[in-house]
Amino acid sequence: MRRTARGGAGPKVLETAHRLFYRDGIHAVGVDTIAAEAGVTKTALYSNFGSKEQLVVSYLRERDRLWQAEIDRITASVDSPRERVLAVFDAYEAWSSRDRFRGCAFANAAAELPRADDPAREVVRHHKGAVLAYLGRQVELLREPDPELPSRLMLLLEGAAVMSGVERRAEPFHVARRLAESLLPPEAPEPSGPR
């Protein structure tokens, strides 16, 4: 095995764990496999992450960071709150078309980690809460804000993510986006008169 440069094991382990946990599942992948595929020793893995539990937390935090970057990228040029909400559906669809999509990594992790006090479940709750909060902020800016609308939109997203993962196709996101469009009030008309 080639020797990993000092401090280089952490990123290699995290990248490998990210790929394997998402592809094969958290319980199916052991630290021996991750260390071997990353080309590091188990000692290096443990010195960077302490335990498999902490590696799972780091994996989900990285996945959350990547997801937030995707949302920021897709919504950066969108001006209206209505279109920003719909752009979230587009982001989910874009995410599902790559990375050999097998459903939402956070929902998958929650299903594998049933203990309510598992530290990884806190990352899952944070991620889902952040998506819901983003939708809530956009809905508050609509012409006719509806306090129940963010939860409805979140259910559409989550249902589409599950079905897309099961069916291995993006069509559930198309359906969910059309339903979201029907729930969102139309854009306020531009003010008329002299400019």
Over residues 45-103, the pLDDT tens digits come to 999 999 999 999 999 999 999 988 988 888 888 989 999 999 999 988 887 777 577 88
Same domain for 125 and 143: yes
pTM of the predicted structure, to 2 decimals: 0.85
Same domain for 85 and 57: yes
Taking the CA atoms of residue 55, residue 60, residue 64 and residue 67 in that order, the dihedral angle to the nearest 10 degrees is 110
* Residue 163 domain flag: yes
* Residue 177 domain flag: yes
Inter-CA distances, 13 with 16, 18, 103, 179, Å: 5, 8, 23, 40
> Rounded to the nearest 5 degrees, what angle is found at the Cα of 63, between the Cα atoms of 7 and 91?
140
What residues make up the domain containing 31?
1-50
Same domain for 20 and 72: no
The DSSP call for residue 191 is: P
Same domain for 166 and 80: yes
Average pLDDT of the residues in 9-32: 95
